[in-house]
């Protein structure tokens, strides 16, 4: 695998990890903020719905309070029936002192008993109770016996619990808002995730293209010149006049300059070695000529010496012959020959 490919893959892997982590943190942060915003909006909506229910309750209570206090139960029944027209009001009922439902905007609910926990609370501490269930807001309002009530209900006493009005208000709008929030959050999650993936893909593509171009420009191309030049040195005898043309100021440029300097120094060293070899060759030729001349002189001297030795042997032989003649016959012809051996 080529160097620039390794670098691209390593950098790409690091980039994917970093960008994925950043996108994940951003995604979870956005989802957390969105969830908090959704919960906050739900709390605001619930508070608003509770305030609206309290307002409707007060209005209904004001509408029926007079007829209830005066004991005008037919008028009260008619007013209770009219409460079906109030938007969001599910039920308006009246429980008697024993906790039995006697009047209701839902006639099929008549005869129902008051919840035991509510009845116990009203008996111990008769105050308004607000209860929120999964689908409704319920308000229980105690009504204490007055002098007008005692005139009709002679066995009652002023101040005792005479009955409880029950108000049940729908929270469908809150439920709908929660469902809408869930849908919006799910849609936002999907959109955010898709956006994060597109962002990641875009960053990776741009990064890969940029890194490829940069590595090609600053790494792959200069190293390719190195490889091509070294390949020429490997495939032929090598032209030491070749140079790598890289003008960059980075490490590769410095390496190219050092390589060119090395080749130039090597070229000079080889030139000096060649000149020294030529000089040595010339001196060797001169020495060979001198040796050849010396050999010729020695040969001549040897020949002269051999000739002298031959002449000496000849003279010696001649002297010996004359001496033998003299010794045998005395002086011949008045001539005296000196024996060369006596010299």
- Burial environment of residue 255 by CB neighbours within 10 A (0 to 12, 13 to 18, 19 or more): middle
173 and 244 within one domain: no
Q: Are residues 264 and 156 in the same domain?
A: no
**Chosen domain end from 178, 204, 231:** 178
CA distance 10 to 22: 18
> What is the pLDDT, as a whole number, of residue 342?
44
Other CB atoms within 10 A of residue 63 CB:
16
Residues 155 and 29 in one domain: yes
Domain count, the chain: 2
In-domain check, residue 235: no
Shared domain for 27 and 159, answered yes or no, is yes
Can you tell me the distance from the alpha carbon of 60 to that of 209, in angstroms, rounded to the nearest whole number?
Answer: 72
**Where is 202: in which H helix or E strand?**
helix 172-215
Question: What residues form DSSP beta bridges with 92?
Answer: 167
Domain that holds residue 62: 18-178
DSSP string covering 231-287, please?
HHHHHSS--TT-------SSHHHHHHHHHHHHHHHHHHHHHHHHHHHHHHHHHHHHH
CA 174: distance to chain centroid? Answer: 43
Indicate if 160 and 293 belong to the same structural domain. Answer: no
Specify whether 148 is located in the same domain as 26: yes
69 and 158 inside one domain: yes
Burial class (CB in 10 A: 0-12, 13-18, 19+), 256: buried
32: CATH: 3.30.450.20
* Cα–Cα dist 97/241, whole Å: 119
Residue 8 in domain: no
DSSP letter string, 8-23? HHHHHHHHHHHHHHHH
Position 10 in a domain: no
Amino acid 328: pLDDT: 57
31 and 174 fall within a common domain: yes
**Cα distance between residue 331 and residue 290, in whole Å:** 57
Residues of the chain with pLDDT under 50: 330-343
> Is there a single domain that holds both residue 22 and residue 165?
yes
40 within some domain? yes
Task: Select from 67, 249, 88 the least CA-distant residue to 172.
Answer: 88
In what order do the strands lie in the sheet containing 136-144? Answer: 101-104, 89-96, 161-170, 136-144, 129-132
Domain edge (last residue) among 161, 178, 195:
178
CA distances, 268 to each of 135, 253, 259 (Å)? 99, 22, 14
Query: Based on the domain organization, do 160 and 23 belong to the same domain?
Result: yes
| Domain-embedded: residue 230 | no
Q: Which of 178, 200, 218 is the last residue of a domain?
A: 178
DSSP result, 117-157: HHHHHHHHS---EEEE-SSEEEEEEEEE--HHHHHHSTT--
State the Cα–Cα distance between residues 163 and 95, nearest whole angstrom: 5
Q: Is residue 117 part of a domain?
A: yes
Claim to verify: residue 119 and residue 257 sit in the same structural domain: no
In our burial notation (b when 16+ CB lie closer than 10 A, e otherwise), range 324-342 reads eebeeeeeeeeeeeeeeee
Please check whether residue 75 lies inside any domain of the structure.
Answer: yes
Is residue 7 in a domain?
Answer: no
């Amino acid at each position: 695998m080529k160097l620039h490919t390794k670098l691209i893959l390593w950098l790409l892997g690091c980039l994917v990890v970093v960008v994925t982590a950043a996108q994940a943190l951003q995604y979870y942060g956005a989802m957390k903020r969105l969830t908090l915003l959704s919960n906050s909006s739900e709390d605001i909506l619930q508070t608003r719905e509770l305030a609206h229910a309290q307002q409707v309750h007060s209005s209904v209570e004001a509408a029926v309070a007079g007829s209830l206090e005066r004991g005008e139960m037919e008028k009260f029944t008619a007013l209770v029936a009219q409460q079906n027209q109030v938007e969001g009001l599910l039920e308006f009922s009246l429980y008697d002192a024993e906790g039995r439902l006697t009047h209701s905007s839902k006639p099929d609910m008549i005869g129902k008993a008051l919840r035991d926990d509510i009845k116990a609370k009203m008996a111990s501490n008769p105050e308004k109770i607000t209860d929120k269930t999964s689908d409704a807001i319920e308000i229980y309002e105690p009504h204490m016996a007055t002098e007008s009530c005692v005139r009709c209900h002679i066995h009652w006493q002023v101040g005792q619990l005479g009955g409880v009005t029950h108000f049940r208000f729908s929270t469908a709008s809150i439920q709908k808002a929660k469902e809408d929030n869930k849908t919006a959050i799910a849609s936002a999650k999907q959109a955010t995730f898709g956006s994060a993936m597109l962002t990641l893909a875009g960053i990776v593509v741009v990064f890969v293209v940029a890194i490829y171009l940069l590595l090609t420009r600053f790494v792959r191309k200069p190293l390719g010149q190195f490889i091509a030049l070294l390949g020429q040195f490997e495939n032929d005898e090598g032209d030491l006049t070749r140079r790598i043309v890289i003008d960059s100021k980075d490490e590769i440029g410095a390496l190219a300059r050092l390589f060119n300097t090395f080749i130039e120094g090597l070229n000079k060293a080889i030139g000096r070695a060649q000149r020294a070899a030529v000089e040595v060759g010339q001196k060797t030729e001169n020495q060979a000529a001198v040796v050849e001349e010396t050999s010729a002189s020695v040969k001549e001297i040897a020949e002269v010496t051999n000739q002298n030795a031959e002449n000496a042997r000849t003279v010696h032989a001649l002297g010996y012959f004359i001496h033998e003649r003299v010794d045998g016959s005395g002086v011949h012809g008045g001539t005296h020959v000196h024996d060369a051996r006596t010299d």
